[in-house]
Structure 1
Amino acid sequence: MGIIETLNQWDTELFLYLNSFHNSFWDYTMTLFTRTEIWLLFYLVIFITIIRKYKRKSLLVFLVITLLIILADQGSGILKHSIERLRPSHDPYVAPLAHNFFKKGGLYGFVSAHAANSFGFAIFSVLLFRNRIFTVFMITWSLLIASTRIYLGVHYPGDILGGIILGSLIGWGMYRLLLFLEAFMRPRKPEFIIPMENKRVYNIILAAFVVIGFSMLVVNFFLKHHMFA
Structure 2
Amino acid sequence: MIESLYNFDIALFLKIHRGLSNAFFDWLMPLVRNKFFWSPLYLFIIIFCFKEYKKRGWYIIGGLLLTFALGDTISARLIKPFVARLRPCNDVNLASEIIQRVPCGSGYSFPSAHATNHFGIAIFLIMVFYPKWKPILPVGLFWAFLVSFSQIYVGVHYPLDTIAGAVLGTTAGYVVSVFYKKLQPGL
Name the TM-score, length of structure 2 as normaliser: 0.92
| Equivalent in the alignment of 1:173 | 175
Q: Deviations over 1:13-35 (max 9, x none)?
A: 01011111223443232111111
Could you list the structure 1 runs, at least 4 aligned residues long, displaced by more than 6 angstroms after superposition.
Answer: none
Q: Tell me the amino acid that sits aligned with residue 67 of structure 2.
A: L
Partner Cα separation in structure 1 for residue 142 and residue 93 of structure 2: 32
Q: Where do 5+ consecutive residues of structure 1 fail to align? A: 183-189, 193-229
Q: Where do 5+ consecutive residues of structure 2 fail to align? A: none
Partner Cα separation in structure 2 for residue 100 and residue 159 of structure 1: 19
Bigger shift: 25-34 or 85-94?
25-34
Partner Cα separation in structure 2 for residue 31 and residue 112 of structure 1: 15
Q: Secondary structure at the match of 2:90?
A: coil
Partner Cα separation in structure 2 for residue 42 and residue 24 of structure 1: 25
Q: CA deviation at 1:6?
A: 0.8
Partner Cα separation in structure 1 for residue 87 and residue 34 of structure 2: 19
Bigger shift: 117-126 or 38-47?
38-47
Q: Percent identity?
A: 33
| Equivalent in the alignment of 1:203 | none
Q: CA deviation at 1:128?
A: 0.4
Partner Cα separation in structure 1 for residue 13 and residue 95 of structure 2: 11
Partner Cα separation in structure 2 for residue 85 and residue 168 of structure 1: 22
| Equivalent in the alignment of 1:15 | 13
Provide the aligned C-alpha RMSD in A. Answer: 1.4
| Equivalent in the alignment of 1:150 | 152
Partner Cα separation in structure 2 for residue 5 and residue 64 of structure 1: 39
Q: Tell me the amino acid that sits aligned with residue 149 of structure 1.
A: Q
Bigger shift: 164-173 or 94-103?
94-103
Q: CA deviation at 1:121?
A: 0.2
Partner Cα separation in structure 2 for residue 68 and residue 175 of structure 1: 9
Q: Secondary structure at the match of 1:69?
A: helix
Alpha carbons 2:116, 2:165 under 8 Å: kept: yes
Aligned length: 183
Alpha carbons 1:88, 1:154 under 8 Å: kept: yes
Alpha carbons 1:71, 1:170 under 8 Å: kept: yes
| Equivalent in the alignment of 1:121 | 121
Partner Cα separation in structure 1 for residue 22 and residue 12 of structure 2: 19
Name the TM-score, length of structure 1 as normaliser: 0.76
Partner Cα separation in structure 2 for residue 89 and residue 138 of structure 1: 28
State yes or no: 1:160 paired with 2:162. Answer: yes
Alignment of 1:97-136 (within 5 A): 97-130=97-130, 131-136=133-138
Alpha carbons 2:49, 2:58 under 8 Å: kept: no
State yes or no: 1:191 paired with 2:160. Answer: no
Q: Deviations over 1:21-69 (max 9, x none)?
A: 2234432321111112111111222222222332111112212211111
Partner Cα separation in structure 1 for residue 176 and residue 100 of structure 2: 34
